[in-house]
Amino acid sequence: MFGFIDIAGGGTFFKYYDQGGPVMNVLLLFSILGLIFIIERFWVLQRARIKTEVFLDKIRNTLLKKQNIQEAIKVCEQNKRSPIANILKAGLLKHGHAEDEIEKSIQIAVTYELARLERGLPVIATVANVAPLTGFLGTVTGMIKSFDELARAGLNNPGAVAAGISEALITTATGLIIAIPTLMCYNWFTAKISRFILEMETGSNILLETFVEMESKSKA
């Protein structure tokens, strides 16, 4: 997440890292932590994707045409990484029970799947919010160092004063470089999860409607 990496061109990254002072160690930790959780969430959410319309049509046709609950459950188990498949399975396992029991089982499954989808997002949000603040902390400490040097040496040693200013600017830039892509990833993840939630709500409603149609056919 560091935008000034240029190891081949003379070690620019290491030069700035050294000039940034001890706050850079904390920022590096945030960068690594954020990157780990971003990669993990991206991998989990990508694996959870399925062709929802095709899946729902298959479940609905299996239930209405074949009246086969076990086969529909097997279809869900074949897509067990998908949240919508898991909540439909929870509803299918309660087939034959009262509607409120089916809805309760589905709601429990939705709560579990939502927690699974959102796992790690608080860490990503924390990195996005705290990294720039940590960078600003480095700005303050760098400016304090500059003013201390200015008070001791006056204008006789402008290089020492400039070093503190350089530390202040580097930490601010680093905090923002970490925070901006992390925040963008966080927003992308939340948008993906909102889509999963919509699909889960749609799928559960379709399942309940299908159960009603099955009962109507069996009574006819």
User: Which pLDDT tens digit goes with each residue over 188-219?
Assistant: 999 999 999 999 998 899 888 888 887 777 66
114-142 pLDDT, tens per residue? 999 999 999 999 999 999 998 888 887 77
Residue 168 has pLDDT above 80, yes or no: no
pLDDT tens digits, 80-116: 889 999 999 999 898 888 888 989 999 999 999 999 9
pLDDT of 167 over the 80 cut: no
- Of the listed ranges 8-17, 49-58, 131-140, 205-214, the one predicted with least confidence: 8-17
SS3 51: coil
Say if residues 29 and 173 touch (Cβ distance below 8 Å): no
Q: Nearest to residue 35, comparing CAs of 188, 185, 189?
A: 185
Q: What is the pLDDT of residue 117?
A: 92
Contact 204, 52 (CB under 8 A): no
Q: Where is pLDDT greater, at 33 or 140?
A: 33
Mean pLDDT of all residues belonging to the chain: 82
Q: Does the pLDDT of residue 9 top 50, yes or no?
A: no
Global pTM value: 0.80
Stronger pLDDT, 176 or 11, i.e. the higher one: 176
pLDDT given for residue 10 in this prediction: 44
Count Cβ atoms within 10 A of the Cβ of residue 80 and give its class: 0-12 exposed, 13-18 middle, 19 or more buried: exposed
